Amino acid sequence: MDLGMIFVSEVLGTGMLILLGAGVVANVLLTKSKGFNGGWLLINFGWGFAVMAGVFVAYKSGGHINPAVTLGIWASGADEYAPEVAITVGSTLVYLAGQLLGAFLGACVAFLAYRKHFEAEPDEAKKLAVFATGPEIRSYGWNVVTEVIGTFVLVLVVLSFANTPHELGPLAVALLVVGIGASLGGPTGYAINPARDLGPRIAHALLPMSHKAPARTPDLVGAGASGEGAGPGAGGDAEPPLPASRKNSDWRYAWVPVVGPFIGGILAGVASRFLF
């Protein structure tokens, strides 16, 4: 099969994954959304069905939509990524590039869908959470372990599907992702997909998103710590302007949801050689 078609297929499939996945997070977290406070399980199911939609859309390329799945198939000793798509360095790079670009574009479209809600949201952390994962307890080593475990489960079970005939198709993967989110998603937000985190994080850094200025404190507003006499018409000078806050895409953490899933996917692929 033409590698150009593989590239387009993975772009479209991964883009659909992130559009619907980031969309459900925005729906639950952004204050003005109708789905506000919908809860963790709504996010789990939203991501599960996002995976199902992405796999269907990317059927021509085998519906990887995840670099960890691609490398897991490679590590399993398989000959092909999809029918008539041999595993080579070139085809591997095409899959990875398509997945990263698709994730970036999907995040941008999700941003457009919720554009006014991002403007109305005062919490910068919630805005970032729509695009990228983050740990509840920041401990980089253990955060990596969590991502390794979650991705290992994902890729190992996906590889087992080839040896266990069923009629569920991509719905099986969707239910698996729901289960991983409900069981293992709490510590890190279960990226389990390097492109899912890195592509949208880049989008967050580049998109023209408004930022709230830091709160004004009394020592910034004129005559003394109490602020008495400050402000126009009160006998003091006008309040000085506050500096705009810098967008924080949390790049210090960004390597975790890339390295962890890569390790987990490769380990699952190697394990599948002995298990299936």
pLDDT at 156 over 60: yes
Radius of gyration of the chain (CA): 22
Distance between CA atoms of residues 163 and 156, nearest Å: 12
pLDDT of residue 246: 62
Q: Within the chain, how many helices (H) and strands (E) appear?
A: 10, 2
* Predicted model pTM: 0.86
* Coil, strand or helix at 80: strand
pLDDT at 223 over 90: no
Residue 80 pairs in a beta bridge with 86
Distance between CA atoms of residues 164 and 210, nearest Å: 49
Q: Chain-wide mean pLDDT for the chain?
A: 88
What kind of fold does domain 3-208+248-275 have according to CATH?
Answer: Glycerol uptake facilitator protein (1.20.1080)
Q: How many CB atoms lie within 10 A of CB 120?
A: 13
How confident is the model over 200-224, as a mean pLDDT? 63
Domains of the chain by residue range: 3-208+248-275
Residue 86 pairs in a beta bridge with 80
Q: Residues 55-95: pLDDT tens digits?
A: 999 999 999 999 999 999 999 999 999 999 999 999 999 99
Strand 80-82, strand 85-86: pairing: antiparallel
Q: Residues 187-205: pLDDT tens digits?
A: 999 999 999 999 999 999 9
Distance between CA atoms of residues 64 and 69, nearest Å: 6
Q: Are 49 and 171 in contact (CB under 8 A)?
A: no
Of 12, 262, 21, the closest CA to residue 154 belongs to 262
Tell me which of 211 and 168 has the higher pLDDT.
168
